[in-house]
Amino acid sequence: MIAMLQELRDRQLEQWPMACANYERLGETLRRSFDAGPLHGAFQYNPARIVSTSAKVDKESIGKRPCFLCAANRPTEQLSEEILPGWEFLINPFPIFPLHFTIAASTHRPQDEIPLEMASMAERLRGMTVFFNGARAGASAPDHLHCQAVATFELPLMRYLEEGGDPALLPFRVDYRVITPDLAGMAALNEISSVAGVDRLTGEEDPRLVNAYFWIGADGLLRAAVVRRSAHRPSCYPGGEAVEAESSKSLMVSPGAIDMAGVVVLPRREDFDAISDSDIRLIYSEVALAPVISQTAVSDEGK
Ligand SMILES: [Zn+2]
């Protein structure tokens, strides 16, 4: 399957100059590592991502633009492969990694809840993580159901979880399950795909405030992780959502699933130069729920 995808990407790069230029420019991106607790992540300076980072995702702006995931409006150069019935595999023309795909529903319907088909996609895309940005958690097309896929080794959060890292030590809450191929696994899958974030301004649960990830681990078992978000953009985002702990810096960071998985994309060079480990910890705390203290940690504290 991966060979088919590489072939799709290579064919696209031959035929689509804009996408080709953006993949070539990946070689010019800069990287710098950071630590947010046990999450050893990286900042990525990637000027081509300005389109996604600064995308207007309010209802009015979305209503005014033609949907770029509908087949009728896609660039004529963009090819698609059906990965599952009703789902089309497309190259992402604004990549963060050398293998970066968008998987769009064939029909125009909203990005309302985590599609369970992601489990089957992960099964077919071994070596890759299939992930989902909820409509209020980084999706730049909240009106058209879609997910994305990148190589699992690129995502520090997935590596940490698979190596047996404790989710409770992460800088934000991550619900994580290994899905066994039995009834218990089915129940866990249902449970994890129905979790919701909590809006930090209203305190209300919202299933659109999530980032979800599915992948097959080295042991062949399906894994699912969900980050429960509390806001889309942090206080440092220019004109971003108002939150209590106002950051003094102005940083164009608009976290989606990849940023929450430990690769934080900065389309402006000055932000890449200025952002610190404490900035990213503050950003994480502003846009996602706090981690749940594990039972062992609680009982240790009580001693
Ligand atoms: Zn559409």
Q: How far, in Å, from the CA of 12 to the mean position of ligand 1? A: 21
Could you tell me if residue 146 is inside a domain?
yes
Could you tell me if residue 198 is inside a domain?
yes
Tell which residue, 205, 104, 122, has the closest CA to residue 158. Answer: 122
Using DSSP bridges, classify how beta strands 263-266 and 39-45 pair: parallel, antiparallel or unpaired: parallel
Q: Which domain holds residue 117?
A: 2-294
Could you tell me if residue 166 is inside a domain?
yes
The CATH number covering residue 258 comes to 3.30.428.70
Q: How far, in Å, from the CA of 102 to the mean position of ligand 1? A: 13
Could you tell me if residue 95 is inside a domain?
yes
Give the model confidence (pLDDT) of 160-201 as tens digits.
999 999 999 999 999 999 999 999 999 999 999 899 999 999
- The answer to whether the CB of 141 falls within 8 A of the CB of 18 is no
Could you tell me if residue 301 is inside a domain?
no
Q: How far, in Å, from the CA of 61 to the mean position of ligand 1? A: 14
What's the pLDDT score for residue 15? Answer: 93
- Separation of alpha carbons 249 and 228, rounded Å: 25
Helix axes 17-25, 2-15, angle to 10 degrees: 110
Tokens 């062949």 belong to residue: 220
Q: How far, in Å, from the CA of 180 to the mean position of ligand 1? A: 34
Q: How far, in Å, from the CA of 66 to the mean position of ligand 1? A: 8
Could you tell me if residue 215 is inside a domain?
yes
Tokens 């089915």 belong to residue: 186
Could you tell me if residue 10 is inside a domain?
yes
- Separation of alpha carbons 139 and 147, rounded Å: 9
Give the model confidence (pLDDT) of 99-115 as tens digits.
999 999 999 999 989 99
Residue 247, pLDDT > 80, answer no
Give the model confidence (pLDDT) of 19-44 as tens digits.
999 999 999 899 999 999 999 999 99
pTM: 0.92
Could you tell me if residue 148 is inside a domain?
yes
Using DSSP bridges, classify how beta strands 222-228 and 210-216 pair: parallel, antiparallel or unpaired: antiparallel
Least confident of 18-32, 55-69, 166-180, 218-232: 55-69
User: What's the number of domains the chain is made of?
Assistant: 1
Q: How far, in Å, from the CA of 135 to the mean position of ligand 1? A: 13
What are the structure tokens assigned to 79, written together?
């090819």
Determine phi and psi for 150, rounding to 5 degrees: -140, 165
- Separation of alpha carbons 36 and 252, rounded Å: 19
Helices (H) and strands (E) in the chain, counts: 11, 13
- The answer to whether the CB of 120 falls within 8 A of the CB of 84 is yes
